[in-house]
Amino acid sequence: METAADFEALLRQVEAIVYSEAPILERLGDICTLLRDRVSHYDWVGFYLVDPQAPRQLVLGPYAGTPTEHTRIPFGKGICGQAAATEQPFIVQDVSQETNYLSCSADVRSEIVLPLLREGKVRGELDIDSHALAPFTDADRRFLERVCETIATLV
Ligand code: SME
């Protein structure tokens, strides 16, 4: 289990990536890899971005983990689409109990999705799948909200 100090240190590393000079998609990909490598219960970490050509559609962006068939998700569909529609973080501690769910892999037991909001609009979201049951704590949510606030300046 990560401590508050671990999350603070990780947040500093996320900020260093966000404020670097690399292309934006490369920065987002590096953040996925960092979070997946450093937090033991984060098994798939990725971004979905709102399609500028088709509003209320999410398109898969950079991610770290196994490939997913869900490369395009309408608002309202699945955990990702629900988080985009409500503009709120959505934590599902047991995906087997969620009827509006798009499965990427049978290994996934839980999921957290947080919107990336800029100027009051959803620009995308951060999606994390875990192979553990009910692993997400308030500390995860607070940490990931701060990560998303930092990243929202990029999208
Ligand atoms: N499980 C998600 C779909 C995306 S994958 O987790 C990568 C959902 O229900 O929206």
Distance 18 CA to ligand 1 centre (A): 24
If you measure from the C-alpha of residue 142 to the centroid of ligand 1, how many angstroms do you get, rounded to a whole number?
21
Q: What is the average pLDDT score of the chain?
A: 96
Q: What is the pLDDT of residues 84-141, one digit of tens each?
A: 999 999 999 999 999 999 999 999 999 999 999 999 999 999 999 999 999 999 999 9
Residue that the structure tokens 């990336």 belong to: 116
Ligand 1 within 6 A of 43 CB? Answer: no
Q: Pull the structure tokens for residue 153.
A: 């300046």
Assign 66 a pLDDT band (cuts: 50, 70, 90). very high
Furthest-apart CA atoms within the chain: distance in Å: 42
Q: 24-37: per-residue pLDDT in tens?
A: 999 999 999 999 99
CATH architecture, domain defined by 4-151: 2-Layer Sandwich (3.30)
Residue 1, pLDDT > 80, answer no
Q: Kind and range of the H or E element at 13? A: helix 4-18
Give the start-to-end residue ranges of the domains of the chain.
4-151
Q: What pLDDT, on a 0 to 100 scale, did the predictor assign at position 2?
A: 83
Quick one: average pLDDT of 2-13? 93
Work out which ligand 1 atom sits closest to the CA atom of 103: 1
Residue 86: in which H helix or E strand, if any? Answer: helix 78-86
Residue closest by Cα to atom 2 of ligand 1? 102
Q: 61-70 burial by CB neighbour count: b if 16+ within 10 A, else e? A: bbbbbeebeb
Helix axes 24-38, 138-151, angle to 10 degrees: 170
- In this predicted structure, what is the pLDDT of residue 55? 84
